């Protein structure tokens, strides 16, 4: 077994090692997006997604829940989601902003204690759905005196809600940079066991990663090199870059191949008895964000139209999409917001509005006037 002259000056020929980064949620999300963000896609099946991306179902749930919280997807039925597309994001964000501001009166006076800003509200009136059961729409808040039982609507701790609240932080406060610790602290109240906090932060990491892959936020640091924090990019998340991308690759019916996802496991520990004590403490400490002025909307979006169709598929790149080489060594996925909403476009009118909250016509319009800015 001579030492095969490996290309890399690495140690022994450790062919393929487990790489955590290649399994990241963010990358998976990028692939997911690249896979379903095509014309013609209207629904996505969880099994299908899991298969094509070569991951376990569990991971798909994470992504789907987050995407749904931003409007990109909508649950249709068991195992079935409707692809709304990126065009639905502006609308969703507006609603989140309104909710966030409304539900948050921290201002003069001190005590607020109304309730946190949970609550969603993105329930589309099922146009033709069926069995509209009376369902228990909101939470009960019946803060009964029961000792500790708290059916604690599981929903309150859902990834989706957390995502929305996390986003509200950016939209409704004037904080420019938010660290996950701050976010967790804000969304959680204050005094808390480090355990609860840590768990929340874990979730926020997950969320942050997919939001990053969507270019809604960006990771940075406070000042030069301080603690990491995130900055809201939102709609103006576009790239300048050149426009050498002449024609778009003809990705018609190319995909459909098998997934070739390498299957390395991280390791195989086992026997880990559970036994832990977790508290189901409900927190309702209102965030003390000041809604002074709208955070964004204070400057024109870039002009010019640049077409950058760069998708980067990582390890689990199932389909064969235009594989673009990375920039250097810093994987950076870029999504072309322009193309994303280019599919269909209602042809009536075009209110040259900017983006006043409160009323929106069509996702596409808002979207286009914002992003395309033609």
Partner DNA sequence: GGTTCCCGCCAATTT
Partner DNA sequence: AAATTGGCGGGAACC
Name the residues that contact DNA, by CB under 7 A: 18-21, 23-26, 46, 55-59, 61, 64-65, 77-79, 151, 153-154, 157-160, 180, 195-196, 198-199, 201-203, 205-206, 208-209, 228, 265-269, 272, 274, 276, 278, 280
Q: Which is nearer to DNA, 71 or 90 (CB)?
A: 71
φ, ψ for residue 76, nearest 5 deg: -105, -50
Q: Which is nearer to DNA, 189 or 355 (CB)?
A: 189
The enclosing H or E element of 143 equals none
Quick one: which of 205, 123, 214, 195 has its CA closest to 166? 205
Cβ 179 to DNA shortest distance, Å: 8
Please, are residues 131 and 205 in contact by the beta-carbon 8 Å criterion? no
Q: Which is nearer to DNA, 280 or 346 (CB)?
A: 280
CB count in 10 Å sphere of residue 202: 12
Q: What string of DSSP letters covers 284-340?
A: -PPP-----S-SS-SSPPP-S----------TT--S----PPPSSSS------HHHH
Q: Which residues contact 80 (CB under 8 A, 6 or more apart)?
A: 43, 44, 45, 46
Cβ 6 to DNA shortest distance, Å: 17
**Spatial separation of the C-alpha atoms in residues 116 and 169, rounded to whole Å:** 12
Please, are residues 333 and 30 in contact by the beta-carbon 8 Å criterion? yes
Q: Which is nearer to DNA, 133 or 252 (CB)?
A: 133
**Spatial separation of the C-alpha atoms in residues 277 and 274, rounded to whole Å:** 9
Cβ 114 to DNA shortest distance, Å: 22
Cβ 316 to DNA shortest distance, Å: 10
Cβ 48 to DNA shortest distance, Å: 11
Helix, strand, coil shares, percent, the chain, to 5? 30, 5, 60
Say if strands 43-45 and 228-232 run parallel, antiparallel, or are unpaired.
Answer: unpaired
Q: Which is nearer to DNA, 151 or 351 (CB)?
A: 151
Cβ 284 to DNA shortest distance, Å: 15
Cβ 174 to DNA shortest distance, Å: 23
**Spatial separation of the C-alpha atoms in residues 275 and 265, rounded to whole Å:** 25
Q: Which is nearer to DNA, 279 or 344 (CB)?
A: 279
Q: Which is nearer to DNA, 247 or 274 (CB)?
A: 274
Q: Which is nearer to DNA, 23 or 52 (CB)?
A: 23
E-strand stretches of 54-161? 73-77, 80-83
Describe the crossing of helices 180-188 and 194-213 by its angle, rounded to 10 degrees: 120
Q: How many helices (H) and strands (E) does the chain have?
A: 9, 6
Q: Which is nearer to DNA, 129 or 174 (CB)?
A: 129
Cβ 24 to DNA shortest distance, Å: 3
Cβ 51 to DNA shortest distance, Å: 13
Cβ 297 to DNA shortest distance, Å: 29
Q: Which residues contact 350 (CB under 8 A, 6 or more apart)?
A: 365, 368, 369
Q: Which is nearer to DNA, 276 or 359 (CB)?
A: 276
């Amino acid at each position: 077994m001579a030492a095969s002259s490996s290309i890399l000056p690495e140690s022994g020929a450790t062919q393929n090692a487990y790489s955590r980064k290649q399994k990241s949620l963010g990358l998976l999300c990028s692939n997911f997006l690249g896979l379903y963000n095509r014309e013609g896609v209207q629904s996505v099946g969880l099994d299908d997604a899991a298969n094509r991306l070569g991951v376990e179902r569990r991971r798909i749930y994470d992504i789907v829940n987050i995407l749904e919280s931003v409007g990109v997807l909508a649950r249709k039925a068991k195992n079935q989601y409707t692809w709304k597309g990126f065009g639905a994001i502006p609308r969703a964000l507006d609603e989140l902003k309104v909710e966030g501001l409304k539900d948050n009166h921290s201002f003069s006076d001190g005590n607020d204690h109304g309730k946190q800003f949970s609550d969603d509200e993105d329930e589309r009136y099922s146009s033709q759905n069926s069995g509209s059961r009376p369902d228990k729409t909101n939470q009960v808040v019946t803060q009964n005196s029961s000792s500790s039982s708290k059916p604690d609507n599981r929903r309150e701790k859902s990834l989706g809600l957390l995502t929305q609240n996390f986003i509200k932080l950016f939209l409704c406060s004037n904080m420019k940079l938010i660290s996950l610790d701050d976010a967790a602290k804000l969304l959680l109240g204050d005094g808390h066991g480090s355990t609860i906090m840590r768990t929340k932060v874990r979730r926020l990491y997950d969320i942050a990663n997919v939001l990053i892959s969507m270019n809604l936020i960006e990771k940075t640091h406070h000042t030069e090199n301080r603690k990491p924090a995130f900055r809201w990019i939102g709609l103006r998340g576009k790239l300048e870059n050149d426009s050498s991308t002449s024609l778009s690759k003809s990705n018609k019916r190319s995909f459909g191949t098998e997934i070739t996802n390498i299957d390395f496991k991280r390791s195989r520990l086992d026997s880990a008895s559970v036994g832990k004590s977790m508290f189901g403490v409900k927190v309702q400490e209102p965030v003390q964000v000041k809604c002074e002025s709208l955070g964004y909307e204070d400057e024109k979006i870039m002009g010019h139209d640049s077409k950058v169709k760069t998708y980067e598929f990582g390890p689990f790149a199932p389909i064969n999409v235009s594989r673009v080489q990375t920039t250097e060594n810093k994987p950076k996925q870029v999504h072309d917001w322009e193309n994303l909403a280019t599919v269909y476009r209602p042809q009536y009118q075009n209110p040259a509005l900017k983006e006043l909250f409160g009323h929106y016509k069509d996702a596409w319009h808002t979207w286009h006037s914002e992003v395309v800015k033609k």
